């Protein structure tokens, strides 16, 4: 499994903002960024905390969206980081732009819970194909 680094996530946020003509404002919650990078890789008693790529991907998109890691651009950053994580692991999410936007808005409006994360993981598994 190939994981995202802090630097990659920060770079995605920077690109999201500069491409839309916004000034890069930086990280609002640095501890949260560290958790987003480390948590999907964690094991407890030799068992992965998030044993599937779908749960890892769901964790990343949910937490960047819900924890407001950056001052601006969290939803766009979350979605692009999701796509990057999947691509690094040879998967593609098959959603058009409107579906992708609706997907992230739905995450934004939902609870920040493990149950919602599991629902996201099922959605991702259903809508991804091997690259």
pLDDT in tens, 62-105: 999 999 999 999 999 999 999 999 999 999 999 999 999 999 99
- Cα separation, 99 vs 6, in Å, equals 27
**The pLDDT of residue 31:** 95
- Domain ranges in the chain? 6-130
7-35 pLDDT, tens digit per residue, is 999 999 999 999 988 887 899 999 999 99
Give the per-residue pLDDT at 17: 95
pLDDT at 23 (0 to 100): 83
pLDDT of residue 40: 97
Euclidean distance between the first and the last CA atom of the chain, given in angstroms as a whole number:
15
Task: Tell me the H-state helices in 21-73.
Answer: 30-38, 53-67
Q: What is the DSSP letter of 43?
A: E
Confidence (pLDDT) at 13: 97
3-class SS of residue 34: helix
Total residues belonging to the chain: 131
CATH level 3 topology of 6-130: 1.20.120
Q: What is the pTM of this model?
A: 0.94
């Amino acid at each position: 499994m190939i994981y995202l680094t802090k630097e990659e996530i920060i770079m995605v946020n920077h690109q999201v903002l500069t491409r839309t003509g916004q000034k890069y404002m930086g990280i609002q919650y640095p501890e949260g960024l560290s958790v987003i990078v480390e948590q999907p890789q964690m094991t407890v008693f030799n068992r992965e905390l998030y044993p599937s790529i779908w749960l890892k991907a769901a964790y990343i998109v949910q937490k960047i969206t819900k924890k407001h890691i950056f001052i601006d651009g969290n939803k766009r950053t979350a979605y692009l980081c999701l796509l990057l994580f999947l691509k690094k692991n040879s998967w593609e999410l098959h959603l058009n732009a409107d579906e992708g936007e609706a997907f992230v808005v739905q995450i934004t409006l939902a609870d920040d819970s493990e149950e919602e994360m599991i629902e996201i993981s099922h959605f991702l598994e259903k809508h991804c194909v091997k690259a």
